[in-house]
Chains A and B, each alone.
Chain A
Amino acid sequence: MGIVVVGLSHKSAPIEVREKLNFPEATLPEALKKLMSYEGVRESLIVSTCNRVEIYASVQDTNAGIDRIKQFISDYHGLSREDLERSLYVYPDAQGVRHTFRVASSLDSMVLGEAQILGQLKDAFDISLKTKTTSTIMNKLIKKAISVAKRVRTETRLAEGAVSISTAAVELAKKIFGELEGKNVMLLGAGEMAELAAQHLLGNGVKNIMVANRTFERAEELATEFKGDAIRFEHFPDAMVMVDILICATGAPNYVVKRDMVTRVLKERRNKPIFMIDISNPRNIDPEVDKVDNVYLYDIDDLQSKVDVNAEGRSKEAEKAEELIALEVETYLQWERALDAVPTIVDLREKVEDIRKRELDKTLGSLSGMNEDQKRAVDIMSQSIVNKLLHAPLVVLKQAASSTDTTDNTLAVARRLFNLDKELKRPGHDRAPEQEAPAALEKGSEAKCRE
């Protein structure tokens, strides 16, 4: 019995692959139910964002469980196991716990310290709770992950960097425009920071987002996500007339927005101010643009200068967060082991008592002419044999319950030695379910690319 995490993220697979494995939110309950029908999967939760698709599960047997989960993904999305294996990573047991905590704390995110993923994890957890696919272990794991993420947030300054750049952008926008309601935002190019900034602006009242990207499909995808409009890249200078806030992150090697272009745009929009945020590296907006009246150009350094945690400081903060997580993983594992130990001890006691009683009855039944005192003496003798025999194993089990050694498999050995798991196996989940992948794939565009 243990926790496994099987999945893929921006670190292991490109967007094209991540898209294929996406689980749209609406289909999650059904997907979870399907996953639960695989043998040995006891609890499950699916996190699906555009940066990661991960299945968190508690399984009866780790290795078999991993195999079943992979099979599920392959079945559900109609992909061959071979294709899948290349992009999937697997974190069993303690590693799985650590990974869960790291994801929740945004240490595994593209933008270190951003808070979106925690919300997404909570959403996924809510869905699992509603679908009733989690119980003791997963509930504890996810609740713990949420509290760890909060600890990381309050005890390290990891989140400050990510948040404050977006917050600074919003604050500046508010000092230029006052209320942001009704302001038009254009996202030129894409990228984590740019999307994050757009997200923050949306959260502050901006309704209208235009997205222009060199690949129009990507623009459409983002536009759908932000409920905005996609425009062709070559049309962006014309569209800029309507734009109040321009977020630029095209990844082009040269200036995309130039001074004469901006001068013309300003004239056409009768000098209504434009706030430009250049998050690209190298920069995409000519710094000369800042000299145009009613244009306020901020590049990433300008925004970052408002954030006193520098890059060096942030990696230090990340280290602190990792240490904190390591400690929390330990406390979690202790809890899990204790949880394992208690039923093991109970199971063992019950089983032995059962055997003792059965054998005692048999023996006493076949012996005649014993008086009550003698019968009691035999009973006591059997009890003390059992107790003496069990004493050492129980001591070891109790020790194992509080041990910090993650490779300690005493409990598993004990269960196997005494054959405690045999009765616990759940019948009737042997058959893999029918494939119904295509319907789910069509909704792929609903991917939540907010992390």
Chain B
Amino acid sequence: MNLLFFQAALIVYALAAAGYLVYIVKPEQKWTAAASFWATSLGFVLHIAYFALRWTESGRIPITSFFEAANFLGMGIVFVFVLMEFRFKIPALGSFMLPLVILLMVPALVISGDIKELNPVLKSGWLGIHTSLAVLGDSAFAFACIISIMYLIQERQLKSKHLGAIFHRLPSLDIMDTLGYKALTLGWPLFTLGMLTGSIWANSAWGTYWSWDPKETWSLITWVIYLALLHLRTIGWRGRKMAFLSILGFAFVLISFFVVSRVQVGKHSF
């Protein structure tokens, strides 16, 4: 499989990330934000092109190997970012989200990108639905985590009263708190649906809905954490505490994604 489009997308993302980082430290360079947004959009198009090519070549949705999953999660995050930037115009998001995308895509590069034969038992329409929902849920959680980090930085600036250049670049606490919460209210149902469809798929493939596979267990923990977060929010938790919890939740997502899938043996190991 030719990695040309993948590499091109990665390079363009790297340029965009660099542009966004310049934007956040050098406030006078206003054009960097606009240029970076265009670069990100271009990268996204290349990324989709790569995804489509891979889909045609393998004859199934390319989301079954670790490489493909990381690639898909990266795409999901860029998608969420482009959407958010388009809607809310917060270029500082790019300074945090694109590095995360690169962090996801570079390890994918190291790992084999070869197309593997899929276990015939898994060939089902549920594959695409289950994985898409799970990855979209993860993307929303990634967004919530990033915006929580930004929130904590801004909160620190305001509390310490030392207002640096980044203070002017980051949006208001209110919008970050709200967006972070919205991302959770969107991510959690998607994640839940991902688990449900996975369960249905498991039943059709192996005849059991739930088998305490390590990934299933971790996902359940992650699911409970985010459920707890949503509950705490309704009883008045917000701001700093919520931001910390949101970051913690995403740590579980990452562990589940990078560690559990690879290290432990189970149905989800790639």
Contact = CB atoms under 8 A, between A and B. Distances in A.
Given A273-B173, A306-B163, A175 B240 contact: no
A214 to B, nearest CB: 29
B229 to A, nearest CB: 14
B174 A271 contact: no
A322 B196 CA distance: 77
A306 B167 CA distance: 13
A175 B172 contact: yes
A290 interface: yes
Given A296-B158, A298-B161, A271 B172 contact: no
Given A296-B158, A305-B161, A176 B241 contact: no
Nearest to B235: A270
A175 B154 contact: yes
A178 B173 CA distance: 7
A175 B158 contact: yes
Nearest to A303: B161
Given A175-B172, A178-B174, A272 B161 contact: no
Contacts of B170: 175
A37 B241 CA distance: 71
Contacts of A306: 163
Q: Which of A175, A272, A298: most chain B Cβ within 10 A?
A: A175
A293 interface: yes
B239 A293 contact: yes
A271 B241 CA distance: 11
B236 A175 contact: no
A190 to B, nearest CB: 25
Interface in A113-166: none
Contacts of A81: none
Nearest to B234: A270
A298 B158 CA distance: 9
Nearest to A298: B161
B159 A174 contact: no
Contact of A271 (B154, B159, B161, B238): B238
A65 to B, nearest CB: 54
Interface residues of A, number: 19
B237 interface: yes
B239 A176 contact: no
B159 A178 contact: no
Contacts of A305: 161
B137 interface: no
A306 B163 CA distance: 9
A294 B240 contact: yes
A178 B175 contact: yes
A51 B78 CA distance: 57
A172 interface: yes
B161 A302 contact: yes
B19 interface: no
Nearest to A173: B172
Interface string B211-246: 000000000000000000000000111111100000
B52 to A, nearest CB: 39
B94 interface: no
Interface in A258-276: 267, 270-273
B180 interface: no
A293 B241 contact: yes
Contacts of A177: 172-174
B171 interface: yes
B173 A270 contact: no
B175 A293 contact: no
A311 to B, nearest CB: 20
B159 A290 contact: yes
Interface string B241-259: 1000000000000000000
B243 to A, nearest CB: 11
A270 B158 contact: no
Contacts of B171: 178
Nearest to B176: A178
A119 B218 CA distance: 65
Nearest to A299: B161
Contacts of B235: 270
Interface string A274-295: 0000000000000000100110
B238 A175 contact: no
Contacts of A273: 173-174, 239
Nearest to A296: B158
B99 to A, nearest CB: 23
Interface in A378-395: none
Interface in B112-162: 154, 158-159, 161
Contacts of A267: 236
Contact of A175 (B173, B237, B241): B173
Contacts of B173: 175-177, 273
A270 B167 contact: no
A302 B162 CA distance: 9
Contacts of A296: 158-159
Nearest to B173: A176
B246 to A, nearest CB: 15
B236 A293 contact: no
A270 B172 contact: no
A273 B158 CA distance: 12
A321 to B, nearest CB: 29
A298 B163 CA distance: 13
B158 A271 contact: no
A271 B237 contact: yes
Nearest to B174: A178
Contacts of B163: 306
A175 B174 CA distance: 8
Contacts of A293: 239-241
A263 B167 CA distance: 26
Contacts of A172: 158
Interface in B153-196: 154, 158-159, 161, 163, 167, 170-175
Given A293-B241, A296-B158, 8 more contacts: A176-B172, A177-B172, A177-B173, A178-B175, A271-B237, A271-B238, A294-B239, A298-B161
27 contacts: A172-B158, A175-B167, A175-B170, A175-B172, A175-B173, A176-B158, A176-B173, A177-B172, A177-B173, A177-B174, A178-B171, A270-B235, A270-B238, A271-B237, A271-B239, A272-B238, A273-B173, A273-B239, A290-B159, A293-B239, A293-B240, A293-B241, A294-B238, A294-B240, A296-B158, A302-B161, A306-B163
